[in-house]
Amino acid sequence: MSLPTTVSMDGLPDRITIYEVGPRDGLQNEKAVVPTPVKDEFVRRLVAAGLETVETTSFVPPSWIPQLADAQDLLAGLGEVGTGPRRPVLVPNERGLDNALAAGVGAIAIFGSATETFAQRNLNRTVEESVAMFTPVVKRAKDAGLWVRAYVSMCFGDPWEGEVPVEQVVDVSRRLMDLGCDQLSIGDTIGVGTPGHVVRLLDALQDKGIGTDRIGVHFHDTYGQALSNTITALREGITVVDASTGGIGGCPYAKSATGNLATEDLVWACRGLGIETGVDLDALVETSVWMAGQLGRPSPSAVVRALAGSEGRAGG
C-alpha cells in the first residue's frame, strides 16, 4: 500500500482520537436492514484495526430506526467487545437508558438539536422539552458510572431554518453540558460548514466555558468540506474527531445529509501530517471493501477507492 509523505505542520496535535460512528450513524441510514452477524463482524473488524472508540448501536424505538432494532442482540453477541467506556450507544430517553444498562454498556450518547424544527422531527419535542427529557437520563447514567456524550445536530445549518446563529448553538450546547455530560459533539448534519464557521463556533463555545478538550467534531461531507473542516478544528485544539469507516451514513430525518467523513480519508490525512491515530489503514480499507460488498455498492471513501482499486467496488 502506498502511503503519503509525512510533512508536519505547526499548530496540530501529535495524536487524535477517532470516534468511530460507522456501526451506528453509518448503518442507521441504510434502506435495507443489515443482518446482526454482519454488524457484529463490522464492530470486531473496527476494533481489530485499532479504533479504540466505536459507537456500536442505538437504543431508540424500532419504529424510529428499524435498522438498529437488534441493539440488544448485537451487544449480547459482542460480549465484552461491545461494552465498556469506549463502546458508547445512543439513547433517546429513560427507557432507552434502561435497555442500555440492562445490556451492560459503559457509555451512552444523547442527541439534541440546535434548531426547533429538527428537534421536532428527530425527537418530536421542542429544544426545551428535549433538554428536560435528557436531564434524568444523564443523572442516572452518571450515577451508574457511565461516560456520557452529548450530540448537538444542525450546528452549521438547517435544511428547514437555513443559517443557524452561533449563539443558538452555544446555548443548546451549554445547557446539555450543564447536565453533566463528559463530551460535546458538534454536528454539521447537512455538511454546509466551512473552516471560518468552524473557528467561529469553537471560539464561541470556548468563551462560554466549553473548551476544546471536551469537544468532538462531527462533519458530513455533502459539499466535500468534511476533511478541511476537520483539519481546521485540529488547529484550534480539537483532538476528538467523529468519522465513519467507508464514509457510510447520513441522517434519516434530514434527507440532504449525506455520508460522514470517511475514517480512511481522515487516517490518510493524519499520516501525511504526522498525527498518530493508532489505526491500521490496511485493515481499515479491507473492512470497507468487505462492507461495500455487504451493502452492495462502492465505498464513498476516496482513499478506499484509490487504495483498493476495483476491490473497492460493491461485491469486490
Active site residues: 251
- 157, 163 in Cβ contact below 8 A? yes
Return d(Cα 142, Cα 50) in angstroms, integer: 27
Angle (CA) 265-165-235 rounded to 5° is 35
- 158, 193 in Cβ contact below 8 A? no
Helix ranges (H only) for 83-222 are 94-102, 116-123, 127-143, 166-177, 195-207
Q: What are phi and psi of 256, to 5 degrees?
A: -85, 0
Angle (CA) 50-31-28 rounded to 5° is 40
Q: What are phi and psi of 296, to 5 degrees?
A: 80, 25
